[in-house]
Amino acid sequence: MTAAVSEATGTEYVLVGGAAVNVHTGGYRPTDFDLVGPLGPAVDRALGVLGFARRGRFLVLAAAGRELVLDLPDDTLFDLAGDPPDRVVVAEGVTAAVLSATDLMMDRVLQATDGTAITLEEAVRLAVGAYRRIDWRVLESRSRVASEQGSGAYALLPATLHRVRSLARRALRDLNAARGEAADGLSPRA
């Protein structure tokens, strides 16, 4: 999808949001595809050639009884993003740009500052799934700077990041311990 939209519009879009979470962790079942890149009537026209029709803020492609929902929320990445996007080679000479795991973690932690269980769970899922692909040192630094310069959600970033990382570490430790116990259980005993 990302590569097709980039090809149709002649410019690179970056996959963000839930579909990007799905790329990094699988099993997310996104409700739409969020792409960041140029906006405007020319983009709508180019995507119209592919069969997309505007429905409110979305562009929808209907085919075979299903609908593919595309959202172009912004023309630039959110202000706490700092990495070049990952590039996935989907075919010979064709790549799709996807928000890096570190930037995605920043986005999910920012959402988790709303204090709801669901956003916290989503952030912890990403942290557990992609823990080793996330640059935690960079996140700590960015969240600290953001909290010093901002207010509201930004002020909550360091504590929320710490909570998400702690929960993920605990889950990974428990998982490691459980796997160790399972292995022991399979071992022959004298």
Partner 1 sequence: MDADEVRSTAALGSVVRREREGRGWTLAELSARTAIPEPNLSRLERGLVDVRLSTLQRVADALGAEITLRPVGRERRLDEVVREAQEARDRIIAAGLGESDPWARLARRRARGEDTRVEAEALRRRDGSTA
Window 131 to 170, contacts with partner 1 (CB under 8 A): 131-137, 169
Nearest residue to 68 (alpha-carbon basis) of 78, 76, 58, 77 = 58
Query: Where does residue 61 rank: exposed (0-12), middle (13-18), buried (19+ CB within 10 A)?
Result: middle
Element (H or E) spanning 58, and its range? strand 58-63
**Which one of residues 40, 41, 65, 185 is an interface residue with partner 1 (CB under 8 A)?**
65
Kindly state whether residue 181 participates in binding partner 1, applying the rule CB under 8 A. Answer: no
Counting residues that bind partner 1 (by CB under 8 A) gives 55
**Which one of residues 53, 89, 144, 159 is an interface residue with partner 1 (CB under 8 A)?**
89
Distance CA 129, CA 127 (A): 6
Kindly state whether residue 74 participates in binding partner 1, applying the rule CB under 8 A. Answer: no
Give the nearer residue to partner 1 in terms of CB position, either 26 or 188: 26
Eight-state DSSP code of residue 133: G
Kindly state whether residue 53 participates in binding partner 1, applying the rule CB under 8 A. Answer: no
Contact 68, 61 (CB under 8 A): yes
**Which one of residues 42, 45, 74, 116 is an interface residue with partner 1 (CB under 8 A)?**
116
Residue 55's DSSP bridge partners are 58
Residues within the interface to partner 1 (CB under 8 A): 18, 21-32, 55-56, 58, 60, 65-69, 86-90, 95, 116, 118-119, 121-122, 124-125, 128-137, 169, 171-179
